[in-house]
Structure 1
Amino acid sequence: MVTATHSSRSGLDSALLLVSRLLLAYFFLPAGIGKITGFEGTVGYIASQGLPVPQLLAAAAIIAEVGGGLALIVGFQTRLVAWGLAFFTLVAGCLFHNYWTLSGAQAATQQLMFNKNLAIVGGLLALSVAGAGAWSMDSRRTGY
């Protein structure tokens, strides 16, 4: 079996980690911007779920999604950001895609959304272990 050396793999690894960060950011950044432009609708949706202080929760979601998305793009504090976004995504999935309380087509749609959130959590956890890669702000600080 032929194995690649670390130096020959680091370029590919860094490229794949960059792609991973960009794809994950693509999920969060547009969602956060949508919450900014539709703030009242976001607040209303949060309130409709019976959650307290919907304005504060909407603002927190915007900070998590926009701030976390931008941090992933540039690879800043990637491991910490990935953990935070994984927690945020898991909680959001449980609160807003609770398919177990629904039936029929609604349940199927929300189960799909919940499962998507779980897959994103998995990707974020993998990124939290792997780190940002050499093509990141983190590598400039730590010498990846």
Structure 2
Amino acid sequence: VAASLERLGEGSVAVDWLLQGEHAQVHMNDGKVTHVFTKDKGARSDLLDGVHAALDGHLRGVRSCILEVVLGKGRKSAKAAEPDTQDEENVPPANGKGEPVPSAEPAAMCVILFDLLALNGAVLTERSLRERRAELVQAVE
């Protein structure tokens, strides 16, 4: 590691993480997700609702944009039910081992934004990654 860092020299260095999930490009227009493209499967209309739900209310001043993202599965709380002696109707069903019964409701999608290629009609691909990420930070609430 030390030799590698020495070869990089002095100054700032950008480092990316290896993110688990599916890389995708998300297109938004009029505040709605209109297209989701993945590398292997192309256009994915089955992901539109999940991506829109994950992004809804988190982008300020964004009318249209193209985002580079990683799509993953969200986490659901899986705490064991603690009986409430005052109101037994609020106790979630358990499987006999004190563990909650899995919900039929799907887990929310996790969308990790890592690049912004276009914003409100302005193409950002001619700008540096640092500038695009600064724009992305400004756009996310």
- Say whether the fold is shared (TM-score over 0.5): no
Kindly name which structure, 1 or 2, has the bigger radius of gyration based on alpha carbons: 2
Structure with more helix by fraction:
1
TM-score normalized with structure 1 length: 0.25
Q: Which has the higher contact order (CA 8 A, sep 6+)?
A: 1
